[in-house]
């Protein structure tokens, strides 16, 4: 079999952990498999590098940030190669450039365009264990890019897709995908299986256990994907197209995202074309808008509020303010102290009352809802950020207490 294994930052944080992971890789190889391993930077390396950059230049260009951030993963593959060499195993470590992993030019959030299989195949044919630096890529100008925080998962799935791997295993510091973050929520349950669609929602709504693009890609290329623990040897969670329905489960999981800002524009004239202007300005600035709410204001005006990722909030505020006269609104304000809490479940469309259960849990916990948004498989609410953990715990209890 050809197996792609990815190990996250905490799994390779120090020498002892590297040696433990090396034993997992060695066992897979000795069982007769072809093995490609994708590694993340050790422990908090990426955060530390970001802090170092901020010390020198808080406005550093994204190109130079990528040059810096990509180094973390390179350290990991070299150290892991040394651990495997010590065990007498044939191994080679390779950067994104060396395997022809090409991306677009969007520094710090680049998308993978293609991966050349030639070098990877050649090394596997020599019966070598191939170690690849996750998270990094090369754009059309041969500049280093990175795929966004958590992006090593996407490197692994993309490699599994191009090599038609039999399996892609994402090893991490928990035993799989849970009904909520097991580090924050008492009683969170491990799921044996979850659908690509539900996992994609959970990942996009804040469950960082998998990078959302990795799930998107696994679905598109039908990659056989599993999330499992690098500490205990037991089956994890299989992410796949269709799963067996667990009768008593009304939803699959709950996610929280504190990286959300609400922007409110007050006093927009109630005329055709105004909403278009607001969102066109944001689209031109490449800002993704999430939940949108329009409400009736005073004297034939409307108020529009919407949410954006906190990293885009200042840019959104600035660009809308710049067009104040063209749009013709009265005032604009920004609220950073909010969080989005969401429930996800493919079955909710055919099961009435799921949203009501969520709102009841919030009401019992005396948590006020500021905005609501729904789709076929999710319900999200915006609430005060300081209440987010309490909200997740309350909702979890409501849905999973027996
Ligand atoms: P890695 O370094 O291995 O990539 P991450 O920190 O990116 O690990 O992702 C694993 C973490 O995701 C877990 O430690 C857990 O706290 C968090 N997490 C959030 N939501 C979930 C969930 N629903 N199931 C499992 N883990 C979750
Ligand atoms: N090291 C990168 C990060 O911390 C990528 C990853 O861990 O997947 O975001
Ligand atoms: Mg991760």
Q: 82: which 2 tokens?
A: 């040394």
Q: Which of 174, 189, 227, 252 to mutate to test the pocket of ligand 1 (most atoms within 8 A of CB)?
A: 174
User: pLDDT tens-digit profile of 347-365?
Assistant: 888 888 999 999 999 999 9
- For residue 198, CA distances in Å to 29, 174, 214, 270, 368 come to 32, 19, 13, 38, 26
Cα of 105 vs centre of ligand 1, distance in Å, is 28
Tokens 């349950």 correspond to what residue?
189
Burial 371-392 (b: 16+ CB within 10 A, else e): bebeeebbbbbbbebebbbbbb
**Looking at the predicted structure, is the pLDDT value of residue 2 above 70?**
yes
Q: Is the CB of 236 under 6 A from ligand 1?
A: no
Average pLDDT, the chain: 95
Q: Which residue intervals of 163-251 are DSSP H helices?
A: 196-204, 212-220
Res. 233 pLDDT band, cuts 50 70 90 = very high
Instruction: Please state, for a pLDDT cut of 70, what percent of the chain lies above it.
Output: 100
Spatial neighbors of 378 by CB under 8 A, at least 6 apart, are: 201, 205, 342, 343, 344, 345, 348
Atom of ligand 1 nearest to the CA of 171: 3
Query: What does the pLDDT average to over 235-261?
Result: 90
Query: What does the pLDDT average to over 331-342?
Result: 96
- pLDDT on residue 230: 96
Residues 179, 196 contacting (CB under 8 angstroms): no
Residues 130, 94 contacting (CB under 8 angstroms): yes
- pLDDT on residue 132: 98
Atom 4, ligand 2: residue with shortest CA distance: 46
- What Rg value do the Cα atoms of the chain yield, rounded? 23
**Looking at the predicted structure, is the pLDDT value of residue 12 above 90?**
yes
Query: What does the pLDDT average to over 359-378?
Result: 95
Cα of 170 vs centre of ligand 2, distance in Å, is 13
Tokens 């809802």 correspond to what residue?
369
**Looking at the predicted structure, is the pLDDT value of residue 246 above 90?**
no
**Looking at the predicted structure, is the pLDDT value of residue 3 above 70?**
yes
Cα of 143 vs centre of ligand 3, distance in Å, is 24
| Closest ligand by atom to 173 CA | 1
**Looking at the predicted structure, is the pLDDT value of residue 247 above 70?**
no
Nearest alpha carbon to residue 262 among 331, 333, 335? 335
Q: Dihedrals φ, ψ of 313, to 5°?
A: -65, -45
As a whole number of angstroms, the distance between CA 172 and CA 168 comes to 13
Spatial neighbors of 361 by CB under 8 A, at least 6 apart, are: 391, 394, 395, 397, 398, 399
Q: Which residue has the higher pLDDT, 201 or 246?
A: 201
Residues 207, 262 contacting (CB under 8 angstroms): no
Nearest alpha carbon to residue 168 among 312, 5, 13, 387? 5
* Consecutive H or E run containing 81: helix 62-86
Pairing of strands 167-172, 193-195: unpaired
As a whole number of angstroms, the distance between CA 338 and CA 259 comes to 8
Q: Dihedrals φ, ψ of 96, to 5°?
A: -60, -40
Q: Which of 46, 172, 259 to mutate to test the pocket of ligand 2 (most atoms within 8 A of CB)?
A: 46
Atom 9, ligand 2: residue with shortest CA distance: 149
Which segment of 40-44, 216-220, 323-327 scores lowest on mean pLDDT?
Answer: 323-327
**Ion ligand 3 nearby residues (CB, 5 A):** 8, 150
Query: What does the pLDDT average to over 365-387?
Result: 95
User: pLDDT tens-digit profile of 280-304?
Assistant: 999 999 899 999 999 898 888 999 9
Query: What does the pLDDT average to over 212-236?
Result: 97
- pLDDT on residue 401: 87
> What's the predicted TM-score (pTM) here?
0.93
Pairing of strands 167-172, 225-229: parallel
**Looking at the predicted structure, is the pLDDT value of residue 111 above 80?**
yes
Query: What does the pLDDT average to over 41-49?
Result: 98
Q: Is the CB of 40 under 6 A from ligand 2?
A: yes
């Amino acid at each position: 079999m050809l197996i792609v294994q990815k190990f996250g930052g905490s799994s390779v944080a120090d020498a002892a952990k590297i040696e433990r992971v090396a034993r997992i890789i060695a066992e897979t190889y000795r069982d007769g498999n072809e093995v490609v391993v994708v590694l993340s930077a050790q422990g908090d390396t990426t955060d530390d590098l970001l802090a170092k950059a901020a010390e020198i230049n808080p406005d550093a260009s994204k190109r130079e940030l990528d040059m810096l951030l990509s180094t973390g993963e390179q350290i990991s593959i070299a150290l892991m190669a040394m651990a495997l060499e010590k065990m007498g195993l044939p191994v080679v470590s390779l950067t994104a450039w060396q395997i022809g992993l090409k991306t677009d030019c969007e520094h710090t959030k680049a998308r993978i365009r293609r991966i050349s299989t030639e070098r990877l195949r050649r090394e596997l044919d020599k019966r070598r264990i191939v170690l690849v630096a996750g998270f990094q890529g090369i754009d059309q100008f041969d500049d280093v890019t990175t795929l966004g925080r958590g992006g090593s998962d996407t490197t692994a799935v993309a490699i599994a897709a191009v090599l038609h791997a039999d399996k892609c295993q994402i090893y991490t510091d928990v035993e799989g995908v849970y009904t909520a973050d097991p580090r924050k929520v008492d009683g969170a349950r491990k799921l044996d299986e979850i659908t690509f669609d539900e996992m994609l929602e959970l990942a996009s709504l804040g469950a960082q256990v998998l990078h959302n693009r990795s799930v998107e890609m696994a679905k598109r290329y039908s990659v056989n994907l599993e999330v499992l623990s690098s500490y205990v040897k037991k089956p994890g969670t299989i992410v796949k197209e269709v799963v067996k329905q667990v009768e008593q489960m009304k939803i699959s999981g709950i996610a929280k995202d504190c990286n959300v800002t609400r922007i409110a524009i007050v006093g927009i004239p109630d005329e055709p074309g105004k909403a278009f202007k607001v969102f066109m300005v944001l689209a031109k600035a490449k800002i993704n808008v999430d939940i949108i709410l329009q409400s009736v204001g005073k004297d034939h005006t409307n108020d529009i509020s919407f949410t954006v990722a906190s990293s885009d909030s200042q840019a959104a505020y600035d660009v809308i303010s710049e067009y104040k006269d063209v749009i013709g609104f009265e005032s604009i304000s920004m609220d950073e102290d909010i969080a989005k809490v969401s429930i996800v479940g493919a079955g909710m469309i055919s099961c009435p009352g799921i949203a009501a259960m969520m709102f009841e849990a919030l009401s019992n916990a005396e948590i006020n809802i500021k905005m609501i948004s729904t789709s076929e498989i999710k319900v999200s609410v915006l609430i005060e950020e300081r209440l987010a953990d309490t909200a997740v715990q309350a909702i979890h209890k409501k849905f999973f207490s027996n």
